[in-house]
Structure 1
Amino acid sequence: MADVTSEIPPAAAPNATVFTFEEQATSSLALYGMSILCIVIGSIRSAQYIRRTIDKKRLVDGSITMKEAKRFPISASLVLFGLYLFFKPAAERFLWVAGVAQKLHVPQEYVEKINATIIAYTNTTTEGDANVVAEPLLVRLLAKLPQDKIPEVVHVTAAWIHQQLPTVGKTELMYLLTFLICFEGLSAFATLLKPIITGFYRQLSFLPFSFNTPYLFSLKKGKKEMEEGDIEEAKAKDTEYLLKIEYDTHDVIALLLCSPVLISHLYQRHWITNNIIGISFSILGIERLHLASFKAGSLLLCGLFLYDIFWVFGTDVMTSVAKGIDAPILLQFPQDIYRNGPWLANKYSMLGLGDIVIPGIFIALLRRFDHRVVETTAEAKNANKKGRYYFLVTVVAYMLGLFITMAVMHHFKVNQSILRIFA
């Protein structure tokens, strides 16, 4: 998860920018309002989405059971630590591996090989001539194989292939990761905008192009051997879908209308486009992710509470990853908006999307419980007539917890991720 942070330089630092209470309060209240808005709208849409799914007698996708709740902190830790190693400089990464190998009592010969790799890598990256092209990877791999069994044409072909392929490094991978995250945010924004487009098109029903054509893009796999052309008409028990994407004309129109937001953010990285994508992410995440039970929700929150304590307070892993990913994974609002205006402001208060979505899916569960989305017995139907206020009470508790978090953050002038302690 991203941190709840505030870019407030220490008061003792030279030439530090000191923000007034009004500026800090404005940025915090803006983040406060956006987070509450995401949770309320997402919870309402979650109940409506579940109702539509049940009415159509379909299975609810994205349910988090006890099994997933147990694995989530572990899998999230592995992904987070993998990103941490990815963002570290290569030389530091090798040194870290060597240090871990020594602590784990790895045989000395392997430790020496790691150290030799570190020395070789450092020499080639720091002392090598910038005009000298490094030996292609495929050529180096082939050099380790028996040379008498590999024709010369293979070496030549490997070198040619390597020269034709574009260089893919950390920068290129970061561009790809940023684009994928932004595109997913764009898709979420288009999903939220689609009902408006559908309502507008209903007013144009007299036009021939107002018909909403549905499409299905799928990838199906057979469970047994079949003749060519038989898989299309095979029984459901003999096939399974590897990929299924259902969309219609209105989805395409919404995606095209939202595309300027994606293009603008990729070029400008402005906080307004960042928040549009982040809010869309949060609302759709709360709507589509569902806790299967209160036990699963409690276990998930407790697991992530320990996850935050270790990765945020015990190490620099979370901070390094949050600074390394230049993507809309948090909400921003400038503290210097009164001084520089909304277009030139660049000193932000920030709130991680994880601190909105994770409590939000639990609050959405309470919203569905209040409205008894799933009614299985006559007693449940009768109970539905009684007023239930779990959703309202939990939203108020979340608002109080978020307020305390921001007050503590500004009072002690520190970066914290303690939202889920209070929420």
Structure 2
Amino acid sequence: MAETTTDVPPAAPNATVFTFQEQATSSLALYGMSLLCIIIGSVNSAGYIKRMISKKRLIEGSITMREAKRFPLTASLVLFGLYLFFKPSNERFLWIAGVAKTLRVPEEYVQKINNSIISFASNKTTTTDPAEPLLTRLVSKIPQEHIPDAFRAAAVWVHDQLPTIGKSECMMFLTFLICFEGVSAFASLLKPLVTAILKKLPFIPSFLSFNAPYLFALKKGKKEMDEGDMEEAKNKDIEYLFKIDFDRHDLFALSVCSPILICHLFKRHWITNNIIGLSFSILGIERLHLASFKAGSLLLCGLFLYDIFWVFGTDVMTSVAKGIDAPILLQFPQDIYRNGWEANKYSMLGLGDIVIPGIFIALLRRFDQRVVQTTVESKTPQSSLKGRYYFSVTVVAYMAGLFITMAVMHHFKAAQPALLYLVPCCLFVPLLLAVIRGEVSDLWNYDEGKHVDNEENRKRVDSNKKNN
């Protein structure tokens, strides 16, 4: 979702009016950052998939047809859950009443909902003392003879010592997790540079120049085993619940990038926000693997409808975007010429509007390079397959779609579902090019599914290892 903070018409009192130069600067900055993520992420994706195939490893985190069908529904449930989390309790009831009227629920049921709202509000204001601990109120309602005085006093004391966990504490924890993952992504991108420096500088200690790997894993057996058998169990008899591998250079790069995490948690500056957001986007495009062109097309079409509904049909998307104080979007201030680095009137672009088209464009990059040979017999002469331009053409199409998004956003001074404009450009342009070049069958049937980490491919890999 693309959004601008200039939602108030210029005629409104005390409204901030930005010049064309200020608006153009912020839009061009977002424009450039999104293109940087798309290009770097797509190039890295092709290299990453090639390395995985050359090492005969299955690719984790792939989006197949099955995941593409479920993704819009899963994303909708998560988005709506966050929306309800941010809404006060009485507003949730009012929202339900509004939905009931929209769906033409019988008036008697709407009236019952309204009565529940009134009852909830009155009980909350008259019978509940917010200063009294919850455990104290619960214990006080239990008859005296059922609970000894000592136990009652101990329960109240324990409750008083526990930290209060509310919405703000949950948001702080969520923000920390998102920022930590973003800084980890930035450290992963910087790791090749860190490795080159640590191996070439003569005064670096040997324990840093020697890049020892580590593996943390949690395995679960699929059948009963005796103690000690898990270590030597075959792959078909176990599954990983958690697995992470890293090395010393990963830890060193993360420590170098940690000031960005600390700075953003305390300052919430737009520069640290963009560093984390760019890292998220580039690594997401590189590592999120679309298994086939069909899966990518289905995913784009599903999220096309998802974005339109949640932005135009409800206030859910905008409420969640404004409610989460975390680097889930790129920002650039429109008042930077007036306030410098302390500017705070932003134009914004959601990371999903970069990553979702980006993983599709990365698939076209791999199609250009024929990372995986299609299983369908090609009718196109091999000589004409050497010069493909699907990646370049679709990047230009993405640029056009993003330009249209920002133009419409500034014209109407309101948030826009960016995928409404990006999906048609990114999907129909490569299909049109395939029609012109006579490669529709090659493009439509391009599939990397045999390298996806699933049960069928794991059995095939294990069988090949046995035969070899």
TM-score normalised to structure 1 length: 0.89
The aligned runs of 1:137-286 (5 Å cut-off) are 140=138, 143=141, 155-204=152-201, 208-209=206-207, 210-286=209-285
Q: Give, in angstroms, the shift of residue 349 of structure 1.
A: 1.0
Q: Give, in angstroms, the shift of residue 107 of structure 1.
A: 12
Among candidates 350, 353, 356, match of residue 355 of structure 1 = 353
Report the AA paired with residue 295 of structure 2.
Answer: A
SS in 2 for 1:136: helix
Q: Deviations over 1:342-395 (max 9, x none)?
A: x22111111111110111010000000000111367977956962111101100
The RMSD of aligned alpha carbons is 2.9
- Mark the CA change 1:160 to 1:108 in structure 2 (over 3 Å): closer, same or farther: farther
- Mark the CA change 1:22 to 1:107 in structure 2 (over 3 Å): closer, same or farther: closer
Of residues 116-125 and 285-294 in structure 1, the stretch that sits farther from structure 2 once superposed is: 116-125
SS in 2 for 1:212: coil
Report the AA paired with residue 311 of structure 1.
Answer: W
Report the AA paired with residue 413 of structure 1.
Answer: K
SS in 2 for 1:326: coil
Q: Give, in angstroms, the shift of residue 223 of structure 1.
A: 2.7
- Mark the CA change 1:40 to 1:99 in structure 2 (over 3 Å): closer, same or farther: closer
Are 1:65 and 1:296, in contact at CA under 8 Å, matched by a contact in 2?
yes
Distance 1:211 1:123 in 2: 67
Distance 1:150 1:101 in 2: 45
Q: Give, in angstroms, the shift of residue 226 of structure 1.
A: 3.3
Distance 1:418 1:238 in 2: 45
The aligned runs of 1:73-112 (5 Å cut-off) are 73-97=72-96, 103=105
SS in 1 for 2:122: helix
Are 2:133 and 2:160, in contact at CA under 8 Å, matched by a contact in 1?
no
Q: Deviations over 1:278-318 (max 9, x none)?
A: 00000011011111111111111111111111110011111
SS in 2 for 1:392: helix
Report the AA paired with residue 412 of structure 2.
Answer: F
- Mark the CA change 1:232 to 1:316 in structure 2 (over 3 Å): closer, same or farther: same
Aligned length: 414
Q: Give, in angstroms, the shift of residue 78 of structure 1.
A: 0.6
Q: Give, in angstroms, the shift of residue 413 of structure 1.
A: 2.4
Return 5+ residue gaps in structure 1 as ranges.
none
Match of 1:405 in 2: 405
Distance 2:346 2:116 in 1: 45
Match of 2:453 in 1: none
Q: Give, in angstroms, the shift of residue 237 of structure 1.
A: 3.2
Residue 60 (str. 1) matches residue 63 (str. 2): no
Are 1:94 and 1:118, in contact at CA under 8 Å, matched by a contact in 2?
no
Are 2:97 and 2:113, in contact at CA under 8 Å, matched by a contact in 1?
no
The aligned runs of 1:314-333 (5 Å cut-off) are 314-333=313-332
Report the AA paired with residue 275 of structure 2.
Answer: I
SS in 2 for 1:11: coil
Match of 1:417 in 2: 417
Distance 2:375 2:324 in 1: 49
Distance 2:187 2:307 in 1: 32
Of residues 329-338 and 200-209 in structure 1, the stretch that sits farther from structure 2 once superposed is: 200-209
- Mark the CA change 1:113 to 1:403 in structure 2 (over 3 Å): closer, same or farther: closer
- Mark the CA change 1:29 to 1:96 in structure 2 (over 3 Å): closer, same or farther: closer
Match of 2:126 in 1: 123
Distance 2:81 2:162 in 1: 26
Q: Give, in angstroms, the shift of residue 15 of structure 1.
A: 2.2
Distance 1:89 1:107 in 2: 20
- Mark the CA change 1:402 to 1:100 in structure 2 (over 3 Å): closer, same or farther: closer
Distance 1:391 1:248 in 2: 33
- Mark the CA change 1:235 to 1:151 in structure 2 (over 3 Å): closer, same or farther: farther
TM-score normalised to structure 2 length: 0.81
Q: Deviations over 1:178-235 (max 9, x none)?
A: 1111011011101100010111123147962310010011112223333333333333
- Between the aligned residues of both structures, percent identity stands at 70
Distance 1:237 1:187 in 2: 32
Q: Give, in angstroms, the shift of residue 411 of structure 1.
A: 2.5
Distance 1:101 1:378 in 2: 51
Match of 2:343 in 1: 345
Distance 2:146 2:229 in 1: 44
Match of 2:299 in 1: 300
Report the AA paired with residue 68 of structure 1.
Answer: E
Distance 2:352 2:310 in 1: 14
